[in-house]
A and B are shown apart, each in its own frame.
Chain A
């Protein structure tokens, strides 16, 4: 898949994210838009999977540790063919399967139920450890938020992953610099994440989180890394792709109204038209 194809898919995913959150009038657009490029790259370029066999024991695993960004995961799963794109209009609806946070028992393609921050990374460590124990060659990926780094459990998991030299584990941290109450720097400084992970004996990779060439190169470097887990620190923009949502913590967990939704769609589709033209 080319970078341009990934970019087009990510744009469609952004539209699905916004459609879902707008229809539900509830959800988390900011962080969904900041991690959707990484998710698109994982599901369309990196991971070994077959949407027809969502429970295949040999498949690569993915854990969305920042579970509130479920709309991004659902959008990418829908585009990848795990369920119909129309389902996105039933996001957070009592009538459907797409719950507010990922639910592995109801949503095809979701490998782990998440939503309580700091827990998904531990489950990902467990999956990677299970692969080593069973002699399987599948890889496990997880995405955490940078605000999520506040949780002590993340660092417990980081220690454990290094202890067992889980080179089949790749964590991506969506470093958009914002959490609900404001900037991560102000709420709880987590920097320097690179030095912290390096001190925990992880292989640290930096990448622009909205640059597909860099995302692919980083994932490839992680795959080539042996005897230690890899973390990719993604420089991202919260709300990326919708100018009035970008870099604004106010859009962490707020749905757009009709005018805002239409403006966001116009901006995203306008770019699409521009590229196609």
Chain B
């Protein structure tokens, strides 16, 4: 059985591990260091950890000022607060001056579970993606998260990183030839009938759906699109040309996220059917994470059905 770990846990470990060799790395949090997992960094490097209290807008501005002074801040809260509440601070104080701040949104999507709709951010990709020059990243597992944090620390510019609350199986370490590069998706499984383009927690889901489809003689390609912006257009175009239809899947609204990015791009370059799998323009709800995910159709079976729909549209 592969390692099962939440991406937020891997994130916290990565920060603490990288602190030593990166003295310019500073970490800000808004009274959620236990949940965002920045507490290990805080314990190890207390002089470079800044708890800003429950004041995300100010935290975002402080991070901007620190970046302007040459530090490399990672600014943390739940996605709904870091990307949602402080949206305009990110836009005007970080992205517009192109400051080197990494905005981190933990507890993205509906797998937050019990806390319910107020805390289940399903709009962060859309919000962050719409900001000029913003990089948007959502790693799928612990291995990819570690690599993403390293890459983001090296990358000089504004970026948004989404973390998940729920433990997920590590899948990328078992893939031959897997390597992480910002802005480059990774084909985890080849296929010729349909391409499933996934990000974050839905990567594992897509792999499971591909296995179900295989049993029915359908060959689904699975692409791990950890970087939603800039989109790996070459990889998307190749998938569209070679498989003739696409399903995007994301723990996000079907509006404006990965599905939006892929559909916007393909509508001009290669207008094949694109089925967008995600939260259908409704708010989340309380429940156990697994129950909530199932409620919103984040199951291998439901995703496999979307794949069949895409193939049907292609052949129509």
Contacts and interface: CB of A to CB of B under 8 A. Distances in A.
Report the interface size class on chain A: 35 or more
B70 interface: yes
**Which one of B64, B69, B89, B93 has the highest number of Cβ atoms from chain A below 10 Å of its Cβ?**
B69
A61 B68 CA distance: 10
B163 interface: no
Nearest to A122: B61
Given A113-B92, A130-B71, A123 B61 contact: yes
A167 interface: no
Interface residues of B, number: 30
B55 interface: yes
Contacts of A131: 69
Contacts of B97: 103-105, 112-113
Given A61-B69, A104-B97, A133-B26, A126 B92 contact: no
B50 A119 contact: no
A120 B52 CA distance: 16
B61 A126 contact: yes
A243 interface: no
Contacts of B64: 112, 119, 122-123, 126
Interface string B194-215: 0000000000000000000000
Given A113-B93, A126-B65, A153 B58 contact: yes
A129 B92 contact: no
A125 B71 contact: no
Contacts of B47: 133
Given A156-B58, A160-B52, A111 B88 contact: no
B178 interface: no
B69 A126 contact: yes
Interface in B74-113: 88-89, 92-93, 96-98
B60 interface: yes
Interface string A104-130: 110000011111101111111111111
Interface of B: 26, 47-48, 50, 52-53, 55, 57-71, 73, 88-89, 92-93, 96-98
Nearest first, the 3 closest Cβ-Cβ pairs linking A and B are A126-B65, A122-B61, A156-B58
